[in-house]
Amino acid sequence: MSSFRKDYDVEHYRDKAKEEEQRARAFAKENEERISKGQKPLSRSAFEQRKGPKPTQKLQQRDDPLELDKNTNKTVVVAQGTRQNQPGFYCEACSRTYKDSASYLDHINSRAHLRKLGQTVDTERSTLQQVQARIALLRERTREASQKKEYDFRQRVADIRQAEIDKKTNKRKNKKAKTAIENTESGDVDEESIEMARMMGFTEKAM
């Protein structure tokens, strides 16, 4: 016996109802603000047109860092021109510039900005595979950062060791050059020693 009863995705329709409720609240709030300012309230169609198309995606995780502190303690020369070239943090999606990182961070997490990206404020529940993949990625990044830090430390130690070797080498050369000058004064010197002393910047007058 076959059944022709249609199956419904309860979770899907629940999300749609929640989204519609949020839009209705935003519509009511918008008109309350307009009325308080003495402006004519918007129709629902006009409100929807202003707000743009309905979001089609749930809130997405950022893959790239925001780098809010990349210009900290730096002097940046800003040329006159478009809004994008003005000092501060520029949002390409909304064509707006914010003077400080706190305001910019609030903006990119706002409903208006997410709507521009076609996203809602609702988060998608992660699967077990996604969680495991994320943990593996974070472990790999931690391992790479640890290796880089260890490499930088080893490089620093090698640089210090090389600097000490160079210092000792120069000290021996200086001592040899001074000895050559002293031998020159006593008349017991060869041409190679004299040339070495000259290359090191020592002369008979300097001694």
Q: Are residues 139 and 178 in the same domain?
A: yes
Is residue 104 situated within a structural domain?
yes
Is residue 18 situated within a structural domain?
yes
Q: Which of 78, 108, 125 is the last residue of a domain?
A: 125
Q: Which of 98, 125, 152 is the last residue of a domain?
A: 125
SS (H, E, C) the chain: CCCCCCCCCHHHHHHHHHHHHHHHHHHHHHHHHHHHCCCCCCCHHHHHHHHCCCCCEEECCCCCCCCCCCCCCCCCCCCCCCHHHCCCEEECCCCEEECCHHHHHHHHCCHHHHHHCCEEEEECCCCHHHHHHHHHHHHHHHHHHHHHHHHHHHHHHHHHHHHHHHHHHHHHHHHHHHHHHHHHHHCCCCHHHHHHHHHCCCCCCCC
Is residue 157 situated within a structural domain?
yes
Q: How many structural domains does the chain have?
A: 3
Is residue 82 situated within a structural domain?
yes
Neighbours of 19 (CB within 10 A): 15
Q: In whole angstroms, give the CA distance from residue 110 to residue 91.
A: 12
Query: For every one of its 207 residues, what pLDDT tens digit does the chain have, with 9 covering 90 and above?
Result: 444 444 455 665 676 777 788 878 888 888 888 888 888 887 776 776 666 555 566 666 666 666 666 666 665 555 555 555 566 788 877 778 888 888 888 888 888 888 777 777 676 777 888 888 889 988 988 888 888 887 788 888 888 889 898 888 888 888 877 776 676 666 555 566 566 666 666 555 444
Domain that holds residue 184: 130-199
Is residue 5 situated within a structural domain?
no
Q: Are residues 62 and 111 in the same domain?
A: yes
Q: Are residues 73 and 103 in the same domain?
A: yes
Is residue 192 situated within a structural domain?
yes
Paired residues of 123 in beta bridges: 59
Q: What pTM did the predictor assign?
A: 0.34
Q: Are residues 195 and 134 in the same domain?
A: yes
Check residue 38 and give its pLDDT.
Answer: 84
Q: Are residues 176 and 135 in the same domain?
A: yes
Is residue 6 situated within a structural domain?
no
Is residue 173 situated within a structural domain?
yes
Q: Are residues 26 and 84 in the same domain?
A: no
Tell the burial category of 22 from Cβ atoms under 10 Å away from its Cβ (0-12, 13-18, 19+). Answer: middle
